[in-house]
């Protein structure tokens, strides 16, 4: 809900070529507590005034010489940067009501004025208008927050990659089906075999150099989408020497929380002949 004082502080423009109508509406609004009320008897000024002051409500007479209310709404629709036209039309012609709504007006007040109806329709329309503006502000803030968060994530990702390059021997990523999509670091030169084989892919039905219990434990963590830190394992090279490694990894998720794969770092921590 919009606080009552916020509604009374809303900016209102009265547009009517009859001075008596302008004076009546001004007095009515001020007596009701509205504090930001302006008026003009020149319909050609309305678009420029609204561009400058961005009124929360425009009370617009439809039947005016030179430029009628429909032409004013056309000018507002062409000139207004937003998609909301805060117009409440004033008309003595019942046939004009539907046409005015189709032209973009949000509501209408019939002439001669019923003062209770005037106050009620103005209050209701201002409440809707201010709620709409709050929604616009919220959406802008949300969009800005998303952009800032995305930039932070990109920066964090770049920093993570940079740090892993310094603190480990290699970095890897694999997709949700287990295929490796990115490997960085000297793992190929260090191990003399493909990275997939290093992390447990088999060749002709045989696991290559793994201690089977360790291989199964690591693969189970990956299959369960579990993060792991400094998982220790060993490999036996073709010459019989044993090499010791530690790897850390975490699952990756899309914006819809679907797991898209794994990423991790690793380092060799020792070797025994």
Cα 4 to the center of its chain, rounded Å: 30
pLDDT of res. 61: 93
Is 151 within the bounds of a domain?
A: no
137 and 176 together in one domain: no
For residue 246, the enclosing domain spans 168-272
> For residue range 157-206, what is the model confidence (pLDDT) as tens digits?
666 665 555 555 777 788 888 777 877 765 544 444 455 555 545 444 44
Lowest mean pLDDT among 77-86, 137-146, 210-219: 77-86
| Mean pLDDT of the 17-32 span | 94
81 and 173 together in one domain: no
Q: What is residue 19's three-state secondary structure?
A: helix
Q: What is the largest CA-CA distance in the chain?
A: 105
Helix (H) or strand (E) segment spanning residue 250: strand 242-253
> For residue range 110-153, what is the model confidence (pLDDT) as tens digits?
888 888 999 999 999 999 889 888 888 888 888 888 888 877 77
114 and 183 together in one domain: no
Is 163 within the bounds of a domain?
A: no
pTM: 0.54
pLDDT of res. 160: 60
pLDDT of res. 193: 42
Is 162 within the bounds of a domain?
A: no
Question: What CATH number did the domain enclosing 216 receive?
Answer: 3.30.450.20
pLDDT of res. 269: 82
Q: What percent of the chain has pLDDT over 70?
A: 84
Lowest mean pLDDT among 76-85, 118-127, 205-214: 205-214
Residue labelled with tokens 């201010």:
130
Please name the residue ranges forming H helices in 168-253: 187-191, 195-198, 212-223
> For residue range 9-24, what is the model confidence (pLDDT) as tens digits?
999 999 999 999 999 9
Q: State the Cα–Cα distance between residues 136 and 144, nearest whole angstrom.
A: 12
Question: What CATH number did the domain enclosing 106 receive?
Answer: 3.40.50.2300
């Amino acid at each position: 809900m919009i606080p009552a004082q916020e509604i009374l502080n809303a900016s209102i423009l009265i547009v009517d070529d009859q001075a008596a109508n302008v004076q009546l509406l001004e007095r009515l609004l001020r007596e009701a507590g509205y504090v930001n009320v302006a008026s003009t008897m020149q319909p050609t000024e309305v678009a420029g005034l609204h561009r400058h002051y961005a009124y929360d409500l425009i009370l617009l007479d439809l039947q005016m010489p030179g430029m009628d209310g429909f032409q004013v709404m056309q000018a507002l629709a062409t000139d207004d940067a937003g998609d909301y036209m805060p117009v409440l039309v004033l008309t003595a012609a019942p046939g004009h009501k539907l046409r005015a709504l189709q032209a973009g007006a949000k509501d209408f007040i019939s002439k001669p004025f019923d003062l209770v109806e005037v106050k009620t329709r103005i209050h209701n329309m201002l409440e809707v208008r201010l709620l709409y503006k709050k929604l616009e502000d919220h959406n802008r803030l949300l969009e800005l927050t998303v952009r800032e968060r995305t930039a932070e994530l990109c920066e964090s990702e770049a920093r993570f990659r940079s740090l892993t390059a310094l603190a480990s021997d290699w970095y890897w990523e694999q997709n949700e089906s287990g295929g490796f999509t990115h490997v960085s670091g000297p793992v190929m030169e260090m191990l003399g075999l493909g990275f997939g084989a290093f992390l447990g892919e088999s060749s002709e039905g045989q696991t290559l150099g793994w201690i089977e219990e360790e291989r199964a434990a690591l693969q189970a963590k990956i299959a369960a989408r579990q993060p792991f830190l400094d998982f220790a394992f060993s490999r036996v090279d073709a010459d019989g020497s044993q090499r010791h490694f530690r790897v850390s990894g975490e699952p990756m998720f899309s914006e819809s929380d679907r797991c898209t794969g794994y990423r991790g770092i690793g380092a060799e921590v020792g070797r025994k002949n």
